[in-house]
Amino acid sequence: MRRPFSRLERFDFPALVVLSLLFFALVIAGVAREERSDWRPIQTRFRGVLEQNGQVGAARAFVPGVRQLWIPQLGRVDRCVTCHLGYEWSGTLPADLPAPLAPHPPLPYLGAHPFEEFGCTSCHAGQGFATATEAAHGHVEHWDEPLLDAALAGRYGLTAAELMQMRCNGCHRRDESTPGMETIDRGKVLFRKNKCLVCHMVEGRGGLKAPNLTYIGDKNPELFDFSHVTGPRTAFNWHVQHLTHADVVSPGTAMPDFDFEPEEARALALLLLSWRRESFPPRYLPGPPPPAGVAEARPVPAAAPPPQIVGAEAGREVFVTRGCTSCHGVGSGTVIGPDLKGVGARRDADWLRHWLADPAATLRAYPSLRSWPAEYGNIVMPNQNLSSDDIEALVQYLGKL
């Protein structure tokens, strides 16, 4: 019944075989590309690290996959935590773990900036959406917000922590000074001392003789004249050189030479680049600074200096006088909160400090604790508003239980 089709027909069958094999190979290549990832081996390693550090339950519960911190209020999706898995295990995992797995250093201001509310890129920049190392760190084409890491900071003779103050100043731009932002604060002092507002306008205040600096950090880098700038063609470098030698970078400029030292120029450049058109929900903005004098006076009651009790003994005093015993027993089992017998062996000092300063924030910061409220009748320990001295004393006391 088959009739001869054409001279070329005999190629049809081999072609079908070849194309089918090719199709098969390409499907495998596609699946291989999908499965191959930077994060998979890291997650496997992390599970091992958890096991080595006694977190067998967490290791068993660990489900591999892309993870993200999603902060809709800030429009941030930070998949950094797909690889940077140890970030919230400070105190449990050793601090000297290699890079992606290491816990986030327990910085003093971390309690006020929980990961769940700020994510990673709010402070560190980088490409939160990406799940491949290079793209995520943002040192790639077509991404304008590279990770503020030591290598990038080193280009300008800064440390990563100094460079990151640019991000802090997004919310803190109206603070006079902020703990941890010493470099930018220095820039703010210089900005005031040199009376920049005589000529420049910032947020509706200042002069009109020179460019408005309110959103200078967003100025398109292509609009800077680099013909008299040496070194990298970046807005940061332009500002640094312009601040040290305004007349060289912008010939004929009215800006006087302020004789800034290089580090002063860098501090000011950081400040300028931090001024961007970003808006933050009100609760992300820092509260008003405590009135001068009050802040110092508050922690120590002025009257009747009590006999100085120090260390664990002082902690026991706080433990009793603040009514901790109404919820916590020591060796007598769960009352309302957990029994604190041996708590010093279970938790390190940093964790305890974090907890005592703000139980609710700590609960949010450690996913391993999420089951706690359910275990204890949906009661979360109220914040006792303890002073830092009280906290130190309590930590010493609890460590001995």
Considering the rule CB under 8 A, would residue 273 count as an interface residue with another protein? yes
Considering the rule CB under 8 A, would residue 1 count as an interface residue with another protein? yes
Read off the DSSP letter of residue 148. -
CA-to-CA dists, residue 23 to 14, 29, 171, angstroms: 14, 10, 53
Considering the rule CB under 8 A, would residue 375 count as an interface residue with another protein? no
Nearer to another protein, 135 or 202 (CB): 135
Closest approach of Cβ 9 to another protein, in Å?
A: 8
Considering the rule CB under 8 A, would residue 261 count as an interface residue with another protein? no
Residue choice 10, 29, 61, 230 for contact with another protein (CB under 8 A): 29
Task: Give the integer Cα–Cα distance in Å for 145 and 162.
Answer: 16
Task: Give the integer Cα–Cα distance in Å for 369 and 351.
Answer: 12
Residue choice 98, 99, 144, 283 for contact with another protein (CB under 8 A): 144
Residue choice 111, 146, 180, 373 for contact with another protein (CB under 8 A): 146
Read off the DSSP letter of residue 373. H
8 Å CB contact between 268 and 200: no
Considering the rule CB under 8 A, would residue 132 count as an interface residue with another protein? yes
- Of 43-51, 129-137, 329-337, 339-347: span binding another protein (CB under 8 A): 129-137
Within 152-211, the residues that bind another protein by CB under 8 A are: 152
The tokens describing 359, both together, are: 């139980």
Nearer to another protein, 53 or 212 (CB): 212
Of 379, 331, 381, nearest to 352 by C-alpha is 381
Task: Give the integer Cα–Cα distance in Å for 239 and 99.
Answer: 32
Nearer to another protein, 151 or 295 (CB): 151
8 Å CB contact between 375 and 65: no
8 Å CB contact between 180 and 186: no
CA-to-CA dists, residue 244 to 29, 250, 257, 278, angstroms: 55, 11, 7, 28
Closest approach of Cβ 94 to another protein, in Å?
A: 30
Nearer to another protein, 10 or 209 (CB): 10
CA-to-CA dists, residue 2 to 5, 94, angstroms: 9, 76
Considering the rule CB under 8 A, would residue 23 count as an interface residue with another protein? yes
Residues 6+ apart with CB under 8 A from 301: none
Residue choice 85, 93, 101, 130 for contact with another protein (CB under 8 A): 130
Q: Residue 1 corresponds to which amino acid?
A: M
Considering the rule CB under 8 A, would residue 308 count as an interface residue with another protein? no
Considering the rule CB under 8 A, would residue 222 count as an interface residue with another protein? yes
Residues 6+ apart with CB under 8 A from 6: none
Closest approach of Cβ 151 to another protein, in Å?
A: 11
- Of 3-11, 83-91, 305-313, 346-354: span binding another protein (CB under 8 A): 3-11
Q: By the criterion CB under 8 A, which residues form the site for another protein? A: 1-3, 5-6, 8-9, 12, 15-16, 19-20, 22-23, 26-27, 29-30, 33-34, 66, 68, 75, 77, 79, 129-132, 135, 142-144, 146, 148, 152, 217, 220-222, 224, 226, 233-236, 238, 273
